[in-house]
């Protein structure tokens, strides 16, 4: 597997699991990016002490329920404001919001993570209609905005993924729920390991299990030929978001390796290690870029109990979050 294409999974409070939202995979992280990751951008991972949730983890969970990410609109003195967006399907407009501090003042300064100050993830409650976009900040008002039109009705979760400015700031993923008017036809996600998108075929190989890190490999091809021209996107060759079916707990992962240089390409494989905190169904969304265009492949896999074989050369390093969990007795 191309080393520059492996996904480093660190995030949401605990490394080595699909959790703080789902835990994170054991990987070797280059020293050049460790500093940024330990500052805690949600996309890059972050340190412990986090989101509270009413969701109770199953007895087999690798992480405590109060460590789950993407389940609250306020955390650590920051709040995701009310979101304004078109009310119904097919109505063009804008989606706007603010990140506010504890006294309601809009936040206007951020720490850049993977080329952006804020990443916005939107998905319907059934996991469909996934979008990953990057709003523009009006620094005079602290308002983020992006052109928006809903393609389908339903209940949506909006995730704002950002790190406030400041050397000691940690990354946050705040969420808000929106209702979009119209006839709602829910989708029941079914397991699938092959995604056809824009003429590309992306295949997922590997299994998720509770209790141990296991390897997942995503392979991209077109017309039966492996794609070896994956381009950097947001500072990496692959970008993966995972949502746990049921509560849409959130995990953001990114490609391992030094930040790609201009003109550098990779592929066809993108790999990472992951561990599910609970048995159940997980929804995966892979963003990749070829010829200047970003494509999103979607997968649904089930995590079971057990301990599939892992790569002994990729044990997970202990992080600050791990140390905190030891101290707390988790």
What is the per-residue DSSP string for 83-151? Answer: -B--SBBT--EEEEEEEEETTSPBP--B--BTTBSEEEEEEETTS-S-EEE--EEETTTTEEEEEE-BS
* Residue partners of 164: CB distance under 8 A and separation at least 6: 78, 99, 107, 109, 110, 111, 172
Strand partners, 239: 254, 287
pLDDT score at 306: 61
Token pair belonging to 95: 């989606």
Among residues 30, 75, 80, 1, which one has the least CA distance to residue 254?
A: 30
Among residues 70, 57, 125, 127, which one has the least CA distance to residue 278?
A: 57
Token pair belonging to 124: 């319907």
Give dist(CA 241, CA 257) in Å, integer.
Answer: 18
Token pair belonging to 149: 């039109």
Among residues 1, 5, 17, which one has the least CA distance to residue 251?
A: 17
**Confidence band for 256, pLDDT divided at 50, 70 and 90:** low
Where do the domains of the chain lie, and which CATH numbers do they carry?
Answer: 3-64+189-328 (2.60.40.1220), 74-180 (2.60.40.1930)
Judged on CB neighbours under 10 Å (0-12, 13-18, 19+), 149 is middle
Give dist(CA 330, CA 318) in Å, integer.
Answer: 14
Taking only the tens place, the pLDDT of each residue in 10-68 is 333 323 333 333 333 223 333 333 333 333 334 433 333 333 333 333 333 344 444 56
Q: Look-up: residue for tokens 């970008």?
A: 239
Give dist(CA 251, CA 248) in Å, integer.
Answer: 9
More confident: 240 or 75: 75
Lowest-confidence pick of 80-84, 108-112, 313-317: 313-317
Nearest-5° angle of CA 216, CA 217, CA 218? 125
**Confidence band for 140, pLDDT divided at 50, 70 and 90:** very high
Among residues 39, 36, 174, 170, which one has the least CA distance to residue 114?
A: 36
Give dist(CA 326, CA 330) in Å, integer.
Answer: 6
Give the C-alpha distances (Å, rounded to integers) separating 168 from 49, 52, 228.
14, 21, 39
Give dist(CA 44, CA 38) in Å, integer.
Answer: 8
Are 171 and 69 contacting, i.e. CB atoms less than 8 angstroms apart? no
- Give pTM, 2 decimals: 0.74
Among residues 224, 227, 221, 223, which one has the least CA distance to residue 203?
A: 221
**Confidence band for 307, pLDDT divided at 50, 70 and 90:** low
- Residue 211 CA, chain-centre distance (Å), reads 21
Report for 172-181, 204-213, 229-238: range of highest mean pLDDT: 172-181
């Amino acid at each position: 597997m191309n080393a520059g294409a492996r996904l480093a999974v660190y995030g949401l409070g605990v490394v080595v699991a699909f959790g703080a939202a789902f835990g994170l995979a054991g990987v070797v992280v280059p020293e050049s990016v460790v500093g940024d990751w330990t500052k805690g951008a949600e996309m890059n991972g972050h340190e412990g002490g986090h989101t509270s949730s009413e969701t109770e983890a199953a007895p087999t969970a690798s992480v405590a329920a109060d460590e789950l990410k993407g389940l609250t609109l306020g955390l650590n003195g920051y709040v995701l404001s009310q979101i304004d967006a078109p009310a119904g399907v097919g109505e063009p407009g804008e989606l706007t919001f603010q990140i506010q501090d504890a006294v309601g003042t809009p936040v206007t300064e951020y720490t850049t993570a993977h080329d952006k100050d804020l990443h916005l993830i939107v998905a319907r409650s059934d996991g469909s209609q996934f979008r990953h976009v990057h709003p523009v900040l009006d620094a005079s008002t602290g308002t983020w905005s992006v052109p928006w039109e809903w393609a389908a009705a339903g209940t949506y979760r909006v995730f704002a993924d950002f790190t406030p400015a400041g050397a000691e700031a940690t990354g946050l993923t705040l969420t808000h729920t929106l209702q979009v008017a119209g006839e709602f036809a829910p989708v029941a996600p079914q397991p699938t390991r092959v995604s056809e998108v824009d003429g590309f075929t992306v295949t997922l190989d590997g299994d998720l299990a509770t209790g141990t890190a296991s390897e997942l490999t995503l392979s991209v091809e077109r017309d039966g030929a492996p794609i070896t021209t994956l381009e950097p996107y947001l500072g990496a060759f692959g970008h993966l978001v995972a949502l746990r079916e049921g509560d849409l707990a959130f995990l953001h992962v990114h490609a391992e390796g030094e930040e790609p240089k201009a003109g550098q390409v990779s592929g066809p494989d993108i790999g990472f290690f992951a561990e599910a905190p609970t048995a159940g169904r997980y929804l995966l969304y892979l963003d990749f870029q070829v010829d200047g265009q970003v494509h999103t492949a979607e997968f649904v896999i089930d995590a079971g109990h057990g301990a599939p074989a892992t790569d002994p050369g990729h044990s997970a390093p202990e992080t600050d979050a791990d140390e905190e969990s030891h101290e707390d007795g988790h």
